[in-house]
Amino acid sequence: GQSLEQPSEVTAVEGAIVQINCTYQTSGFYGLSWYQQHDGGAPTFLSYNALDGLEETGRFSSFLSRSDSYGYLLLQELQMKDSASYFCAENNTNAGKSTFGDGTTLTVKP
Amino acid sequence: KAGVTQTPRYLIKTRGQQVTLSCSPISGHRSVSWYQQTPGQGLQFLFEYFSETQRNKGNFPGRFSGRQFSNSRSEMNVSTLELGDSALYLCASSPTTSPDEQYFGPGTRLTVT
């Protein structure tokens, strides 16, 4: 994902809160999605932001600031099963369906 | 509802051969997208089909092609396989009401030797 930047790795402990940031730089942007992928599994849709602000779905929240070309995924009350890769994906009128970031590997420790 | 299904799940081919992968979307979803996932390049968009028409195309050579049938099932074909085509090929379907939500199938793991 050459137009999106997200950290490659994040480590946190059970019960903690972690924020995974994503910045994008492409014109034609119209929305940011987040996906979770466990080792050996397929990506699973988590959330989508088209407008500025916070979207909350249970323990997961996603935020978008279009003026800052920035978004984040917030995971609360971390559980061991949250250990996975998290991808931000940009929906863009110029680049096909979605452009995915390289993913952030989250490791949750006891 | 049943999820997205892909067949086959695993495939081993030789350089120069061609391969066809199949994807059945979630019932009622008319948009089907294909992605290639490799450790080095990550998840890369191949193409999207909607109502049997290619709506978007990624930056892949013409050896990669696809089609969609009237029941929304989709196939992708890769001709003249190269070693670098070894990857996980993922199909995703989207509902018309929420086109930006993509629901992925388990993928087809293609190994080219």
Chain B interface, best mutation among A98, A99, A104, A105, by max B CB count within 10 A: A98
**Chain B nearest-CA residue for A95:** B58
| Confidence band for A1, pLDDT divided at 50, 70 and 90 | very low
Contacts of B57 in chain A (CB under 8 A): 96
Chain A: give the shortest CA distance to residue B107, in Å: 7
pLDDT at position A97: 79
pLDDT at position A2: 53
pLDDT tens for each residue of B13-72: 999 999 999 999 999 999 999 999 999 889 999 999 999 999 989 999 999 999 999 999
pLDDT at position B109: 97
The least confident of A6-15, A42-51, A91-100 is A91-100
pLDDT at position A78: 98
HEC readout, chain B: CCCCEEECCEEEECCCCCEEEEEECCCCCCEEEEEEEECCCEEEEEEEEECCEEEEECCCCCCEEEEECCCCCEEEEECCCCHHHCEEEEEEEECCCCCCCCEECCCEEEEEC
Contacts of B107 in chain A (CB under 8 A): 42
| Confidence band for A25, pLDDT divided at 50, 70 and 90 | confident
